[in-house]
Amino acid sequence: MEPNPRQGKEVKMKANAELVKFIKESRKRGFDDFEIREPLLKKGWPLDEIEKAFYVLKPKYKLKNKISIFLDSDVLKIIDKRAKKNMLTLNEQIEDILRRSCINMKKGTSKAIKCDDSLVAIFSREKRGRRK
């Protein structure tokens, strides 16, 4: 068995220069990596090429207060409808749901949630009925 000449050495990735330039420019304009990656995938860029470009650039900073969640389209429609009723954006509505859930959890009370927002009840840890 021959020894692998690359073993123990860092393999340098060669990324597409045009793609790297596009990502740099997009970051300067305020787009996050997810907002950059999705349109590239939709335009047909291969995932491995996109990942190479992001790996070469490496993020300058880490955001601790930013998350990505993927929601079913039916759930998204319900939340969007609720957001419009409350005169909030979709992001603000989701933040509100999470905030209310955390506040209720901090209180540590087992009282029923008394609010008109049924989505808070979905995310709450309140026990409902018996499990079978």
- Whether residues 118 and 90 fall in one domain: yes
Q: CB of 13 within 8 A of CB of 55?
A: yes
The average confidence (pLDDT) of the chain is: 76
Q: Give percent above pLDDT 90 in the chain.
A: 16
pLDDT at residue 120 tops 70? no
Confidence of residue 22 (pLDDT cuts 50, 70, 90): very high
Q: Which pLDDT belongs to residue 60?
A: 56
- For residues 1 and 31, the model is more confident at 31
Band (81; pLDDT cuts 50, 70, 90): very high
Answer yes or no: is 26 within a domain: yes
One domain for residues 81 and 116: yes
Question: Cα(96)–Cα(90) distance, rounded to whole angstroms?
Answer: 10
**Residue 8 falls inside a structural domain:** no
Looking at the domain assignment, is residue 92 inside a domain? yes
Cα 38 to Cα 62: distance, rounded to the nearest angstrom: 19
pTM above 0.75, yes or no: no
Do 52 and 90 belong to one domain? no
Q: What is the domain range of residue 87?
A: 73-123
Closest by CA to 56, choosing from 16, 113, 27, is 16
Domain annotation covers residue 87: yes
Domain total in the chain: 2
Residue 33 has a pLDDT of 82
Angle between helices 73-85 and 90-107 (to 10 degrees): 90
Residue 65 is assigned to a structural domain of this protein = no
Per-residue confidence band for 67, with pLDDT thresholds at 50, 70 and 90: confident
Q: What are phi and psi of 52, to 5 degrees?
A: -60, -45
Has residue 6 been placed in a domain? Answer: no
Answer whether residue 10 shows pLDDT above 70.
no
Cα gap 86→23, rounded to integer Å: 36
Residues ≥6 apart with Cβ < 8 Å to 21: none
